[in-house]
């Protein structure tokens, strides 16, 4: 089960993960974007943690909403609205729940992905964060249906996200700033897919 404190531990870990990977994500973005994805994710989650410390949430839903609003308010580019939408939709999937079981956790990530799809209008193989998140959610749903534990569900989701992330390398970007490069976007790993993989990996490590 994932409690409010477990959720906050995940968010704190994401803060550390994006701080540690700030340069890596920025370097990936420098090849096909604005060279600011790592900077934005680091700044965004630094502000998220500050907001959560200033206004401690009473429950899982409030915590996720706080994350969403802080990201939308402080993260530039596409990442702020997309990740903000992810966490806002995730909060609706957790409404009224004191703790999240395995099915709730899968619903959280599925709702977040649906928000990203609706907000960003991207599809699989467009070379975006969707390419990591879609296979991750599909793998998690399959694992849940097979009766896997939460730990196994998250590990399978992370493995699928990693594969999806790597699969963006040969793709030509069809969305966002990278799409302006045309064929020159081929051969580069998508930074949004990478930050999404890191999000799943963090959840697997903290909640596994």
User: Where do the domains of the chain lie, and which CATH numbers do they carry?
Assistant: 4-207 (1.25.40.340)
Measured from the Cβ of residue 170, the count of other Cβ atoms closer than 10 Å reads: 11
What is the crossing angle of helices 4-20 and 191-207, to 10°?
A: 140
Q: Does 26 score more than 70 pLDDT? A: yes
**Rounded (5°) CA angle 6-8-10:** 75
Q: What is the pTM of this model?
A: 0.95
pLDDT of residue 20: 98
- 188-203 pLDDT, tens digit per residue, is 999 999 999 999 999 9
C-alpha span between 5 and 75 (Å, rounded): 25
**Position 181 confidence tier, pLDDT thresholds 50, 70, 90:** low
Backbone torsions φ then ψ of 129, nearest 5 degrees: -60, -25
Measured from the Cβ of residue 41, the count of other Cβ atoms closer than 10 Å reads: 31
Write down the mean pLDDT value for the chain: 94
């Amino acid at each position: 089960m994932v409690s409010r404190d477990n959720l906050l531990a995940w968010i704190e870990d994401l803060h550390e993960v994006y701080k540690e990977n700030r340069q890596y994500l920025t370097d990936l973005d420098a090849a096909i974007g604005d060279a600011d994805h790592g900077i934005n994710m680091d700044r965004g989650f630094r502000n998220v943690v500050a907001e959560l410390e200033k206004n401690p949430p009473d429950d899982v839903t409030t915590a996720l909403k706080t994350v969403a609003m802080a990201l939308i308010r402080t993260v530039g580019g596409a990442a702020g609205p997309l990740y903000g939408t992810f966490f806002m939709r995730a909060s609706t999937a957790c409404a009224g729940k004191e703790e999240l079981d395995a099915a709730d956790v899968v619903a959280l990530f599925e709702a977040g992905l649906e928000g990203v799809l609706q907000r960003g209008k991207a599809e699989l193989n467009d070379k975006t964060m969707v390419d990591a998140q879609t296979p991750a959610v599909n793998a998690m749903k399959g694992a849940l249906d097979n009766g896997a534990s939460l730990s196994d569900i998250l590990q399978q989701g992370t493995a699928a996200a990693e594969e999806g992330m790597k699969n963006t390398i040969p793709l030509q970007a069809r969305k966002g700033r990278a799409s302006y490069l045309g064929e020159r976007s081929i051969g580069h790993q998508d930074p949004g897919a990478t930050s999404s993989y890191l999000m799943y990996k963090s959840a697997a490590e903290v909640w596994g």
